[in-house]
A and B are shown apart, each in its own frame.
Chain A
């Protein structure tokens, strides 16, 4: 299994739809997890940190499943402005740098 793996997409969804992305990771001892958003030709920016209990920020919900070694991002009531690439990031154990997934592309269509 790759260190961090994401479905590259693209996910093409209509406005108002609910869409979910999963990201799997290989190191079961990984410590913390993040979702980033990257707009075209811009740098990635932190969207959410992922806590063991799951967390929610408006239309966005992130969850962690340690047993199956994946994290998920759920977007409800999709907006056109949600169109972007969503990157999964995993913090391995010890003093090891972060590992980024290749990203999942989302297009929300009117």
Chain B
């Protein structure tokens, strides 16, 4: 148990569906991250939120829409995805300004059919 919880763990969705991924942390961290990892590829940073404000958006297509309603929760809303969006989506949190590490959730394995 890392303190960062992602749901669902697995998701299969059609290209016309709308779904959301959820990430929750109760570590008191102020920064939260979404990463995408395709098969055998490195982590790709998608979004970073710090104090509920988006501080980084790495040229992610608009079919991915993040939401950070408070510092404990982070969502990734998915709409009209493509099969190449199938990947492991990882959430992480950290406390900027401290000397401590980031913690990852176990990820959501997404398959787009």
Count, chain A residues at interface, CB 8 A: 24
Chain B window 66-102, contacts with chain A (Cβ cutoff 8 Å), 1 for yes, 0 for no: 0000000000000000000000101000101101111
**Which of B30, B51, B99 is the one whose CB lies under 8 Å from A91?**
B99
Q: Within the assembled complex, what's the spacing in Å between the Cα atoms of A89 and B92?
A: 13
Q: With a CB–CB cut-off of 8 A, which chain A residues contact B33?
A: 97
**Which of B96, B101, B107 is the one whose CB lies under 8 Å from A89?**
B101
**Which of B30, B90, B101 is the one whose CB lies under 8 Å from A34?**
B101
Residues of A with Cβ closer than 8 Å to B? 8, 31-32, 34, 38, 41-46, 49, 85, 87, 89, 91, 94-98, 100, 102-103
Residues of B with Cβ closer than 8 Å to A? 2, 30-31, 33, 35, 42-43, 45, 48, 50-51, 55-56, 88, 90, 94, 96-97, 99-102, 104-107, 109
